[in-house]
A and B are shown apart, each in its own frame.
Chain A
Amino acid sequence: MSEKHIDRSYDTASQKMIKRAIDENIKISWDRYDAMQPQCGFGELGICCRICNMGPCRIDPFGEGPQEGVCGATKDTIAARNLARMIASGAAAHSDHGRDVAHTLILAAKGEAHDYELKGTEKLMQVAKVYGIETEGKMVEKIGEELGEACLAEFGQQHGSLKFISLAPKKRQALWKKLGITPRGIDREIVEMMHRTHMGVDNDYKNIINHGIRTSLGDGWGGSMIATELSDILFGSPEPIRAKVNLGVLKEDEVNIVVHGHEPTLSDVVQEAAKDPQLIALAKKYGAKGINLAGMCCTANEILMRHGIPSAGDFLQQELAILTGSVELMMVDVQCIMPALSSVANCFHTKLITTSPKCKFPGVEHIEFREEKAMEIAKQIIRMGVENYKNRVKERVDIPGEIKDLIAGFTTENTFYNLGGTYRSSFRPLNEAIISGRLRGAAGVVGCCNPNVRHNWAHVSMVKELIKNDVLVVQTGCSAIACAKEGLLSPDSASKFAGKGLLEICEAVGIPPVLHVGSCVDNSRILLILSEIVKEGGLGEDISDLPGAGAAPEWMSEKAISIGFYFVASGVYTIFGTPHPVTGSENLTNYLTNDLENIVGGKFAFEADPIKAAHMMIEHIDKKRAALKLKPVMYTNGVSVGV
């Protein structure tokens, strides 16, 4: 037997729990992945079509069998339609999250959801201005309500443009307008995407993808941005905050409650409810020392960056947290929640609770979360966890000791306020650092985990390679958690891993070389950061001029596809680890990885080797530096090459 658990994950805490699963014959994602081999080649290449009932159809990649579906759809059409539907689904997920936050904002503003208040009034004024809402002499609540309604209206809007589009660089807005891909409404583009990919509608793969781009822009500059900005208004804008990460945050002598999923509407209330003295007293009555709340996936990121609540781990650690035998209760809302959780939870005393009407599991207790009674419901769920402590089997508790410090909570607004010093809230220092060559550029490394890549290995290897080469890295989602577990998100990581130029910046302003900017909807923060850099001047007139790149080295979800597209459409060179399921169509692959650059300024690349991918990003950054006629980078391999 090889060391399976070591092959499966780079993270030692995860290895221990994977080992435990193997020893106790508990099947987890990696086992299911192995059992699934070989995975369907047609699906992997994107050339099977299940869209109508004349099918399912498959294009023979060996060139002997059918080269078109029953309707005559070619591999180009089929692959493009499949990919476009993935964009639609990803955009729908992010945007529906945004819709929920807008809905909560309205309830809170109207006083119908007493457990919420509008904490981010500065952000409220800022966003109200973008939406053209009169703030003069108005109560905060009134502005909040109007803004919430204005945002909700954008979901069903049929023409015109989304308000946040106005925050993109002027040149970019003009390009989108010229190409006819400015999103008109968030839901509208998703619906049209579904229509266009219905049997017998859009058969031109380029035309299909162009609408896919429009749909994704409605996510990045629409639904996701609404989710981020309105969350900041409701729960307060994050500020840099110290916290802890990895399975070691679970405690042996406390009631462990894990919140897993994505939306902050539940988790933010839960973190408050967990402080309730009565519940803590109850926990003590059962022999626990207290209540320990930990997050998982992106809902973890939401409360991590706002309250410093520890994160127990990333997407592939959801089963592993239960495997510690120490989790009394895991409550979930929406997205990235494995159906397998219920069977893994059945192997332990862990209670699994679903809370969203959109996300139920067969045989799992459902306690529906309603904003109007948020605190009451949150307490009810926590109480169930506390009462479950007595069922914990002490002998079965095995919590890996791994735990790391990180700094989270960087945002568009605060990052360079912190960086600014005498410049105050300005991107000038960042731009200057890039212009002078102290920093080579910046990169966003984001996305999921996937058993088809050694867990966390690609994220960590890529980010280390980038910062070694003086590229400042911003991260969201599970990628941020992966690198936090490696210690890359703590300030002292700069001296260990960063190149000389980046180290100088980090030391001067006291930031880590890798900045955690939030959950996966918070990729919208990266869009705004890029726009601010352009606005600050000296680095071109558009996002596509910037010495920057993006990557999702371990991606798995449809949301990642949507994110990839809105970055590419915003002008960013974006690398995915494993390719999109399109490689069965040479034309479409070419369109995504070559032609798009001439159309929107950004393009995709597919590269599974994270080091190679990092160097493709660096090469791209250098190309952009050269085009801007910037000075050469100050240091290569830690050695000064400049003056």
Chain B
Amino acid sequence: MTKKIYYDVNKCLACKSCEFACAIGHSSSKDLLSFIKNKEKTKPAVKVHFASNKNYPIACRSCIDHPCVSACIAAALSFDSKDGRVIYDKDRCVGCWMCVMVCPYGAIRPDQTAKIPIRCDFCEGEDEPRCVKACPTGAIFVEAEEEAKSR
């Protein structure tokens, strides 16, 4: 069963705790105060967007169409059908921004400092994505695709 991150947009208060947790969790110090002190540059992969009176804490949706993979000119992106996730090989990325342009959710963001996109890695190595853990209202959660569909 493939598990994905889902959002309940009715619950999102746009506190941006997910953004904090994502950026800090992917930084080298992993601590907010040191992050600020050391002027680290890590950016969050998840970003809270606002549209039609609702907040959308959006990161990669691992969508079945995954147009980003087809658009990638450097073969940096591939789709792991077993896990149902888009895999990103940073070393191959040339920063052409094609994936950024084709993403239907606007979930891939260009990192202007690093000159390559910022992509959700589902918090590899963690038991649960950090954004899920950080969300104070339960607006971000992990669920199997089948479960979500049936609900």
Contacts from A to B (Cβ < 8 Å): 36, 38, 40-42, 44-45, 58, 61-64, 579, 583-584, 586
Q: A38-B134, A583-B37 are in contact. Are A62 and B32 (CB under 8 A)?
A: no
Q: Which of B15, B17, B21, B36 has the most CB of A within 10 A?
A: B36
Contacts of A579 on B, CB cut-off 8 Å?
33
Residue B4, interface by CB 8 Å: no
- State the CA gap A62–B24 with chains docked (Å): 10
Q: Are A40 and B15 in contact (CB under 8 A)?
A: yes
Q: Which of A61, A62, A579 has the most CB of B within 10 A?
A: A62
Residue B60, interface by CB 8 Å: no
Q: Are B32 and A40 in contact (CB under 8 A)?
A: no
Contacts of B16 on A, CB cut-off 8 Å?
41-42, 58
Q: A38-B134, A44-B32, A45-B32 are in contact. Are A62 and B19 (CB under 8 A)?
A: yes
Residue B6, interface by CB 8 Å: no
Residue B79, interface by CB 8 Å: no
Q: List 26 A-B contacts (CB under 8 A).
A: A36-B136, A38-B20, A38-B21, A38-B133, A38-B134, A38-B136, A40-B15, A41-B20, A41-B32, A42-B15, A42-B16, A44-B32, A44-B33, A45-B32, A45-B36, A58-B16, A61-B36, A62-B19, A62-B23, A62-B42, A62-B43, A62-B44, A63-B41, A64-B43, A584-B36, A586-B36
Instruction: Provide the main secondary structure of the chain B interface.
Output: helix
Contacts of A41 on B, CB cut-off 8 Å?
16-17, 20, 24, 32
Closest B residue to A585 by beta carbon equals B36
**Number of residue pairs across A and B with beta carbons under 8 Å?**
35
Would you give the shortest CB distance from A568 to chain B, in whole angstroms? 20
How many residues on B have C-beta within 8 angstroms of the other chain's C-beta atoms?
A: 19
Scoring B residues 80 to 93 as 1 if CB is less than 8 Å from chain A, else 0, what string do you get? 00000000000000
Scoring B residues 3 to 40 as 1 if CB is less than 8 Å from chain A, else 0, what string do you get? 00000000000011101110110000000110011000
Contacts of B24 on A, CB cut-off 8 Å?
41
Contacts from B to A (Cβ < 8 Å): 15-17, 19-21, 23-24, 32-33, 36-37, 41-44, 133-134, 136
- State the CA gap A23–B140 with chains docked (Å): 31
Closest 9 CB pairs of A and B: A41-B20, A38-B134, A583-B36, A41-B32, A62-B43, A38-B17, A62-B23, A583-B33, A38-B21
Contacts of B23 on A, CB cut-off 8 Å?
62
- State the CA gap A166–B126 with chains docked (Å): 60
Contacts of A584 on B, CB cut-off 8 Å?
36
Would you give the shortest CB distance from A588 to chain B, in whole angstroms? 12
- State the CA gap A61–B20 with chains docked (Å): 9
Closest B residue to A38 by beta carbon equals B134
Contacts of A583 on B, CB cut-off 8 Å?
33, 36-37
Contacts of A38 on B, CB cut-off 8 Å?
17, 20-21, 133-134, 136
Contacts of A586 on B, CB cut-off 8 Å?
36
Contacts of A36 on B, CB cut-off 8 Å?
136
Closest A residue to B40 by beta carbon equals A62
Contacts of B37 on A, CB cut-off 8 Å?
583
Closest A residue to B22 by beta carbon equals A62
Would you give the shortest CB distance from A49 to chain B, in whole angstroms? 15
Contacts of B21 on A, CB cut-off 8 Å?
38
Would you give the shortest CB distance from B111 to chain A, in whole angstroms? 9
- State the CA gap A172–B21 with chains docked (Å): 46
- State the CA gap A584–B20 with chains docked (Å): 13
Contacts of B19 on A, CB cut-off 8 Å?
62
- State the CA gap A581–B99 with chains docked (Å): 39
- State the CA gap A579–B23 with chains docked (Å): 21
Closest A residue to B44 by beta carbon equals A62
Q: Which of A44, A61, A586 has the most CB of B within 10 A?
A: A61
- State the CA gap A38–B134 with chains docked (Å): 6
Closest A residue to B20 by beta carbon equals A41
Contacts of B36 on A, CB cut-off 8 Å?
45, 61, 583-584, 586
- State the CA gap A63–B36 with chains docked (Å): 11
Closest B residue to A40 by beta carbon equals B15
Q: Which of B23, B33, B44 has the most CB of A within 10 A?
A: B33
Contacts of B17 on A, CB cut-off 8 Å?
38, 40-41
Would you give the shortest CB distance from A439 to chain B, in whole angstroms? 34
Would you give the shortest CB distance from A440 to chain B, in whole angstroms? 30
Contacts of A40 on B, CB cut-off 8 Å?
15, 17
Closest A residue to B130 by beta carbon equals A38
- State the CA gap A252–B44 with chains docked (Å): 56
- State the CA gap A152–B148 with chains docked (Å): 66
Contacts of A45 on B, CB cut-off 8 Å?
32, 36
Contacts of A63 on B, CB cut-off 8 Å?
41
Would you give the shortest CB distance from A580 to chain B, in whole angstroms? 11
- State the CA gap A138–B99 with chains docked (Å): 89
